[in-house]
Structures are given as C-alpha cells and as structure tokens.
Chain A
Amino acid sequence: MNTLVLLFVKLTGLLLLAPILQGMIKRLKGTIQGRQGPGVFQPFRDVKKLLAKRRVISRETSWVFGIAPIVAFAAVLTASLMVPWIDPTPWNYMSDLLLFVYLLAIPRFMMALAGLDASGSFGGMSSSREMAVSALAEPALLLALLTLALPARSLNLQNLIGGSDAVPIFTPAGLLAGVAFFVVVVAELGRIPVDNPDTHLELTMIHEGMVLEYSGPQLALIHLTYWIKQVTLVLLLMNVFAPFGLVFAIDAAAGLVAVGWLLAKLAMAAIALALTETLLAKLRLFQMMDLMGLSLVLSITALLFVATGS
C-alpha cells in the first residue's frame, strides 16, 4: 500500500516537474540571451493545445508509426521510476544500472523506426544520425556510471547513491566521471553542441527530424516523453554525483529540506544546460566522435584513479 502511494506521488510529481524543468531551461535561455523568453509554465499550455488539435498523418505510415510514441513513453516512464529523487531506497527491486541504460535505448529504437516510416528524406536522415550518435553515447554513459559502480561493488543505482560517505564530485574520480556524464546527458537530450532542439533546419536536426510527421496528441506525448527523460537524466546526474540532502529515514523536517534540495538541484541543472546551450555552438555531426571520445577519456582517467585506489 505504502509503495502504491509513493508510486502515485512520484508519477504525479514527474508529470508536473518534467514540463516545469523544460520551461525553466527555456526561460533561462531567454534571459541569458537578452530576450524575455516564454513563461515557465508554457510547456503545459503547449501540451494542452496539442491535445486538442487534429492529427495529420502520412499515408505511407504503417503500424510502427502508431505504437512508437506509446512504447517510447512507457519505456521512459519505467526508467524514470528507477531514479531516486529524495530518498534512495524505495524501488530497490528494479534499479539496475544496465536495465536503466537499455530502457533508454527503447525510445531511441522506436523513434528511429518512426522516422523511417513516413518515407521522407528528413526522417531517415535524422534516424541515421540518431543511431550513429547514440552508438557513441551509450558506451560513454555506461562507463561514466561504472566508474562509481565498480568500486561500490554494486550495479544497483540505489546502492550506488547511498553507497559511499564521500560526495563523489569532491573526489578526483567522481569529478571526472561527473563531467563525463554531463557530456553524455547533453548528447542524450539532443542539446547543443550535439543537436539543436529549437530548429527545424535539415542540416542540423536530429531529434526534431524523426518526429517531423507527428502532430496533435501524439506530438504532445512525444514532448512529454522527452521532458520526462530530461528530468530523469538530470536527477540521476545530480543524485549520483552530488547526493546532497537525500533522506535515509522517514522524517518530516528532513523531507522538507530534501524537497528544497531537489528544487535547487533542478534549478542548478537548468542553469547549466541553459548556459552550455547559449555559450557553445553546435558541432559538426562528424565531430561528435571527438566529443564522446572526450567523455570516454575522462571516464578512463577516473577509472585509473579508482583502480589505483586514490
């Protein structure tokens, strides 16, 4: 019963926080770039508008086009349940690190297929790019997490977070792995310098090209999926590498502090993402190898620190 209540709270929080984080990033980006920017709650309005709109679908599409956003949403939602927010223990029975990495591969697989389904050039181009970038991002993601998981002798995300006394980003290995992980998060979210979420220019787009043929409620679902994935990855980054203010026992006061920390972490992540997106330019597609290589080298250096025991 307790678990079900917690599950309900978490799901509601997820559906509320995910659009807000997106709104925060957009708003901050606007401020940094000297514009006013859309309001923090704009994503809610977008979803509401899209849900009421009529769908326009291509006549070339097959059954894949219909199920892709649904399955992608389900997989991201399942993955998001595995990441702790304020409390590192409740979902111990399904917080495997490898499961997490491969659950995030499901939406990629489905959306890449959906991109090919409409037979247009844009969709195929974006699918092809997405699979090539993800082939490099997936090992980098795994290696960055492994640098912390291996010394803790556990591949469970929950054990990983409660595992060590030291805050990882204050250790050399943890700091390096944290930066490596941040690079991967930027790539996974399709943000600059990997992809530009604000443009539909065919030369640059990856994620937007695959969803080009979607409209109406399906597009709303795809946006929601992306936002949930964003908040999940950001919270994973924060709670694994900077686990401040997590609650290890049921305690109202500590709980409130933890919620405060949670919001602070989201705000920090929003600032970091908005800053990288404003300060950096998009890389050429074939320079992605170097960026992911950078992440890999950072992780390997972190592993060296771990292996030599310092």
Chain B
Amino acid sequence: MTLLALGWLFFFISFVTGAFGHDTAVGWRRFGCRMAATGSAFILALGVTGLAGAEWRFAWDIPAVLGPSTFVLDRLSGLFLTMLGGVGVAASIFSEGYLEHLEKRWNFHWMPICQALFLGSMAGVFVAGTIPTFLFFWELMALSSFGLVMLDSLTESRRRTGFIYLAMTHVGTAFLTLALLWPCARSGSGWAITDWVSGLAGFGGWERIVVIACLLIGFGTKAGMMPFHVWLPRAHPQAPSHVSALMSGVMVKTGIYGLFRFLTGSGVVLHAELGWVLLGIGFVSMLLGVLYACNEHHLKTLLAYSSIENVGIVLLALGMGILLRTWGHEADAALAFSAGLFHAFNHAFFKGLLFMSAGAVQATSHDGNMDELGGMARTIPAASMLFFVGALAISCLPPLNGFAGEWLVYRSVLSGFALPGLASKIVLPLMAAGLALAGALAAGCFVKAFGTIFLGKPRSHAAGHQAAPGMKRMIAGMMLPAVACVVFGVFPEIVIKPLTTMFEASRGLPYGPYALSWPGRPDEGVQPLLVLSCLAAGILMAWWILGRRGRAPAAAVVETWNCGTPLTPRMAYTASAFAEPVKVNFAWLLQLRRDLRDHGPLAPLLPSRMTYRLETVHLFVDYLYKPLLRGILALSHGVQKLQAGSLNAYLALLFAVIVGLLIMGGIR
C-alpha cells in the first residue's frame, strides 16, 4: 500500500510539474520525467512484491465520488503492475532524451500532465477491487491517453484519428459498463468483483450471453482484438514514441487484464463455445495482424499491427484455457492461462523496446516511412543493436523471451489434442501451424523493418546524417526492456512459477528440472541457459574457424558488385518491395487493389509515364465499419426529416407513441 501511495505521489509531483512548470525550461521538464520514472519504479516494486505473493486489501470510502472503494493486490495485479512499472521506468528515462528534438512543436504543459495521469490511472485499473473504482480509472486512462494522442494535432487527419480513438474507446466503455454493472445490480450484495461473479452465476442463458459478449467487446476494444482494432494502428503511431511504448506495451494489456480478471477467476461458469469463439478471434487477429504488419511501410504502424498479432496469440491461449477448463482438464487450463499471461508480459517488454527504438529512429531521421530510411546502423549503432534484440525477441527466436512465451502457448494449444471430438484433434494442430505461420511472417516482417531502416545505403539525407540530440538518454531508457527480454528468455521460470501458483489447479504440479517446462510433464522441456551456452560455444567455434585465416591477406573493402553500374540507394530493396512476395501469396486474403495507369509518352519515342498504386483493403474497415457508418448516417438523416418536418407529422408521432404505450400496458 505504501508503495502504491508513493508511486501515485510521484506521479502527482510530475503532474504538478507539468501544470505549473515553465514549458521552455529544460530543467523543469527533466525533473518531471525523473519524477515519473521514480513513481514507475515504486509501481514496479509493488508489482514485484505482488507477483512474489504479497497480498493486501485496502478499503477506502470516498464519499460522493465513488462510494466505498477497495484496492486489492494479488499475483494477477502484481504481474501487470510489474509490466507497467518496468515499461514506465524505461519510457520515462527515454522521454527525457526523446523530448529534446520536439522542443518547438508541442505543448509541453499537456505532455507531463497527461502522462502522469495515464501512468497513475493504469496503476489504478490494476489494483481496483470494486467495479465503480475500476470504471473510474478505466475512463481516466482513456481520457489521458486521448490527450497524449492529440498532443500533435495540427492537421485534419490527426484530429480525425483522435476522434476515432475517442469514439471507439467510449463505445467499448459503454459495453463494459453494462457488462460489469448489470450482474452486480442483479446480485444486489455489493460492487466487488466477487459480487459480479455471483451475479453472473444467477443469470439465465441469454442474459449470460449478453453479459459475456459485452465484456468481450469492451475489453476487446481496448486490447485491439479484431474486429474492434481499427483505432489501434491509427492512434498508437500518432502519440509520441515513449507514449506509444506505454500504449502498446501496457494499455493494450488492461484489456487482457480485464478478460483474465473476470473470466478466469474461480466460480465463473463458462461454456466451451466461448473458448472456441476466443480461439477463432485470436486466430484471426493473429494472422491478419501480422499480414497487415508485413504490408505496412510506416514503422510505428507496423509495430501497432504487430501488437494486434500478439494480442491474438494471448487470446488464443485464453480461449484454449477456457476450452480445457470446460472439459475438466483443470491443470492444463491453468497452464494455458499462465501461457497467455506470460506472453502478454513478454510482449510489454519487447514491444516497448521496439517502439522506443522507433522513436530514436524518428528523432534522428524525422521520418517514420521505412522506404525513405536506410543505413542507420552507422548513424545510431547502439539503437540498431537494441532494435535487433527486440526484433529477435518478437520473432520468437530462442533463447529470448518471445520464444519462451510462445513455447508455452504452443504447448497449451497442443494439449488440446487430449480433448474428445474430431474437431479439436484437427483444428487445434492447425491452429498450432497457424501460430508457426504467424511466427515466420513476423520474422519476415522484422527482417524487413530492421533491414530497410538500419542496413544498406541511406535513402535520405537525414537518415545518414547524425544522431538526434539526447540519444544517450534514449539508449539508457531502452537498455532496461532489452535486458528484460534476455533475462526472461533465459530464466523464464522466475515468472512462470509465480504464475502457475496463481491457479489452484496447477499449484501442486511438479515443475521439472527445466527452466521452461510444462508442469506435470517433468520429463520434457527446454533449458534456455543450455541453449545459450551451446550457441556461445558454437560462436567460439566459428570464431576459431574464421581466425585460421592467418595465412590470408587482410580483407579488401570495395563497392558492392552491381553488374558494373554505380550503386545508388534506389537500387536496394525497399520495405514495400520486400513484402511483395508475401502480398502476392496472400493476395486472396489481403484483397489488393492494383492501379496501373499509362499516362502516355511525354514526347514521341520516349517511354511513357506510368503511375502505380497498390492498396490493401482492410477487410473489417471496408466490409464492416464503412457500411455500418453509412447505415447509421442514413438512419439519422431519416430521423432528422421527421424531427425538423411539419408539426402535423410530429403530433402524429406523439399520438402513435401514446397509443403504442397504452396497448403495451394493456397486454401486461
């Protein structure tokens, strides 16, 4: 409790700094960033104690605002507070250097104000024990993040993005309010989460379906699950990079937290159908997310789509857990839940790292379009190495943490082979193959991102010029998540063990001698430390083989062979070109719109000028949201006619309503 209070206190100081500090004074700004970092460090400490097993419950009556509120710390909150604290510390340190290149453009009062509110409200979401408190912090989080997205809102398209974000997040909150308050109101005993569970248990068939569907829409919108993801790839890239890191790394996880908090607790009655629905949604989010990411040539949008993919993987594990639980495989279900949570945890760190690297790239080159970058491994070598660590982790290459998380997700999906029914024996292995497809596409996607940004010749002057001011502080901020990626990859048991003790069914299972193991199956697993030492030995051996060139003369450094013509940056593959084979292979899913126009030759005998456009149809935007929006607009136009029309029509309507009400009363 003290840690939470201290965390909030320092966020408050940061808030005050933002509100009253002089916006051009560098000292004030640094002080604000450091206060935010200190607050996050306290939250991190709180999370670690929670994850280690400390529990407390604190009741606080806030009259007139929220009524009786409780704040609860347990392992689940601890896990998410650890993410928040870890990414928060890194992002705050990073922002100190990152803000230097933004000096003139932004309103610096709002930045620390919104950021402090954002960090504090997310901590509140993770510790709230009563539903009104939870919803209060949820809304505060949405509004403060909206403020951060709108920091740079000079152009029309940026304001439109902000509007879409605000609209989507409030539609989600509306569904969530219904889903959370209705069961509590029915149970009548109070507003705690346990009352929600008992209220839900009292519901009949269709009422429960409505509540669960609303819950899925509410939390799914925040988590960026398809088809409620449309705001995410627009809003995340628009925020400043350290905020994008927090949004993609942690805020998206509040949706995941909600789903796990409300659906995996003891006493929640679930049906196998929900498991299948979540598996389906997870599968679609995962595959479409990574395909859209492959097609994207703006770095931060690419990272945002990749977040959707990873949320899909987490949902896959959640659905699998629910499916296993409904069939009575309690222990495997608990492990599937742990797998999902562990992947969400890992994603916070590597995605935070990647977004901050993207910030370093953008600060240096003033551009996020990968087709205009290149050669930055020489301009900002340290940032390139840190991005490399993040790219390895997100492509789930061993022995980093991405592999550890996905290994557990694979195991949980494959443990479904024990379930009865042909569907699970065929569909679940195919889901595992889908996971492999997504992993390989993600690897291709990050080869593309790393290769076109950091390797080759610079395609613009700024990309090859010089590092942005404040790069050292940015690097310092990025070190923390990079270390986390390695540590949680090599020693995954430090998180998995507390996670599996969270669920009663897996508490007594033998863990086995392996760091990465499936409790209850002690004879199998992976020892990441051993993999790491084998890799190190292999590297030494390769070094030895290469070192034998003592007899050979020193290397000659020459121009890349280009069939005898001089090499220009335009000859290297761009991000768009790199993704072309994937686009063609998956054209049936991506629905590419090609537009090749011949404008005719400028003069006789000269080749004609051509333009080529390639567009991806975003299935959900074009086939779901646009028709929906058109429908709503048409409906409101119709209603408008009635309202602004003649008085007679208006009176007739009133009369019809009264008659209708009377008839309904009569039937009663």
Residues of A whose CB lies within 8 Å of any CB of B are 51-60, 62-64, 69-71, 73-75, 77-78, 81, 92-94, 96, 98-99, 101-103, 105-106, 108-109, 112-113, 116-121, 123-125, 127-129, 131-143, 146-147, 150, 153-156, 159, 212-213, 216-218, 220-221, 224, 285-286, 288-289, 296, 300, 303-304, 306-308
* Residue numbers in A under 8 Å from B444 (CB-CB): 112, 131-132, 134-135
Complex A-B: 6 CB contacts under 8 Å: A62-B377, A93-B527, A120-B560, A132-B444, A139-B437, A139-B440
Report Cα–Cα, A61/B274, bound state, in Å: 51
The interface residues of chain A lying within 8 Å CB-to-CB of B436 are: 101, 138-139, 141-143
Cα separation A212 to B560 with both chains bound (whole Å): 10
CB contact under 8 A between A221 and B403, given known A94-B531, A143-B433, A296-B433: no
Task: Check A134 against B414 for contact (C-beta < 8 Å).
Answer: no
Q: B414 contacts which chain A residues (CB < 8 A)?
A: 146, 150, 155
Contact A139–B434 (Cβ < 8 Å): yes
A interface secondary structure, majority: helix
CA gap between A306 and B567 in the complex, in Å: 55
Please, which residues of chain A bring their CB within 8 A of the CB of B441? Answer: 135
Complex Cα distance, B377 from A117, in Å, reads 10
Most chain A CB neighbours (cut-off 10 Å) among B436, B525, B569: B436
Q: B448 to chain A: which residues have CB within 8 Å?
A: 128, 131
Chain A residue contacts of B571, Cβ below 8 A = 119-121
A286:B581 contact, CB within 8 angstroms: yes
A116-B451, A150-B429 are known contacts. Are A159 and B422 too (CB-CB below 8 A)?
no
Contact A119 B567 (CB under 8 A): yes
Do A216 and B549 form a contact, CB below 8 Å, given A56-B555, A139-B433, A300-B430?
A: yes
Contact at B403–A102, with CB atoms within 8 Å? yes
Complex Cα distance A63/B380, Å?
12
> A55–B535 contact, CB under 8 A?
no
- Give A156 to B584 CA distance when docked, in angstroms: 36
**Pick from A70, A77, A116, A118: contact of B543, CB under 8 Å:** A70
Closest A residue to B381 by beta carbon equals A63
Q: CB < 8 Å: which of A137, A213, A307 contacts B425? A: A307
Cβ A119 vs Cβ B569 within 8 A: yes
* Contact for B524 among A75, A154, A308, CB less than 8 A: A154
Q: How many residues of B contact A (CB 8 A)?
A: 91
User: Quick check: which of B29-37, B296-304, B389-397 contacts chain A, the rest being far away?
Assistant: B389-397
Contacts of B443 in A (CB 8 A): 105, 108-109, 131, 134-135
- Asked if B487 is at the interface (CB within 8 A of a chain A CB), the reply is no
Bound-state CA distance A210–B36 (Å) is 46
A129–B447 alpha-carbon span in the complex (Å): 12
CA distance A127 to B446 in the complex (A): 12
Measured CA separation A75–B552 after assembly (Å): 27
Most buried by A among B384, B385, B536, B585: B585
B612 to chain A, nearest CB (A): 18
Contact B549 A71 (CB under 8 A): no
B272 within 8 A of A: no
Complex: A102 Cα to B392 Cα, angstroms: 11
Q: Of B381, B537, B573, which one neighbours A125 at CB under 8 angstroms?
A: B573
Whether B577 lies near A128 (C-beta < 8 A) is yes
Identify the 3 closest CB pairs spanning chains A and B, nearest first. A124-B573, A74-B538, A131-B444
Segment of B180-188, B190-198, B331-339, B453-461 engaged in the interface with chain A: B453-461
Q: Which residues from A are CB-within-8-Å of B558?
A: 56-59
Q: How far is the CA of A73 from the CA of B545 in the complex (A)?
A: 11
A111 to chain B, nearest CB (A): 10
Q: Cβ of B503 < 8 Å from any Cβ of A?
A: no
Known contacts A54-B556, A132-B585, A139-B433; is A117 also within 8 Å of B530 by CB?
A: no
Given A52-B552, A307-B422, decide whether A127 and B578 contact each other with a Cβ distance below 8 A: yes
Contact of A54 among B433, B455, B543, B554 (CB under 8 A): B554
Residues on B with C-beta less than 8 A from A99 are 398, 403, 407, 526, 531
Whether B605 is near chain A, meaning CB under 8 Å from some CB there, is no
The listed residue with most A CB atoms (<10 A of its CB), out of B407, B422, B447, B556, is: B447
Identify the closest chain A residue to B538 (Cβ): A74
- Residue in B closest to A117 when the chains form the complex, CB atoms: B455
Is B411's CB within 8 Å of the partner chain A? Answer: yes
Q: Does B582 contact A (CB under 8 A)?
A: yes
Residues of chain B contacted by A135 (CB below 8 angstroms): 437, 440-441, 443-444, 582, 585
Distance of A116 Cα from B564 Cα, bound (Å) = 19
By a CB distance below 8 angstroms, the chain A residues around B545 are 51, 217, 220-221, 224
Distance A59 CA – B378 CA, assembled complex (angstroms): 12
Q: Are A216 and B534 in contact (CB under 8 A)?
A: no
Q: Could you tell me the distance between the alpha carbons of A73 and B536 in the complex, rounded to whole angstroms?
A: 11
Q: A51-B549, A58-B559, A124-B451 are in contact. Are A286 and B585 (CB under 8 A)?
A: yes
Q: B585 to chain A: which residues have CB within 8 Å?
A: 132, 135-136, 286, 288-289
Q: Is B146 an interface residue (CB 8 A)?
A: no
**Contacting residues, chain B, for A216 (C-beta < 8 A):** 549, 552, 555
Report the minimal beta-carbon distance from B365 to chain A, rounded to whole angstroms. Answer: 16
| Complex-state Cα separation, A58 to B535, whole angstroms | 27
Q: Does B28 contact A (CB under 8 A)?
A: no
Are B377's CB and A63's CB within 8 A?
yes
Given contacts A74-B535, A102-B403, contact A138 B437 (CB under 8 A): yes
Cβ of B123 to closest chain A Cβ, rounded Å: 35
Residues of A within 8 A of B555 (CB): 54-57, 216
Write out the residue numbers on chain A whose beta carbons fall within 8 Å of the beta carbon of B429. Answer: 143, 146-147, 150, 303
Bound complex: CA A120 to CA B561 (Å):
7
Interface residues of B in 499-535 (CB under 8 A from A): 513-514, 523-527, 530-531, 534-535
B572 touches A128 (CB 8 A): no
A308: chain B residues within 8 A (beta carbon): 422
Q: Which of A51, A73, A140 is close to B552, meaning CB atoms less than 8 Å apart?
A: A51
A153 vs B520: C-alpha distance when bound (angstroms): 13
Contact A105 B440 (CB under 8 A): yes
The residue that B549 contacts in the complex, of A52, A75, A150, A154, with Cβ under 8 A, is A52
State in angstroms the CA–CA spacing of A116 and B572 once bound together: 8
Assess the A127–B573 pair: CB atoms within 8 A: yes
Is A77 a contact of B534 with CB atoms below 8 Å?
yes
Taking the closest CB of chain A, its distance from the CB of B324, in whole angstroms, is: 15
CB proximity of A89 to chain B, nearest CB, Å: 12
B422→A120 contact, CB < 8 A: no
Q: Are B524 and A74 in contact (CB under 8 A)?
A: no
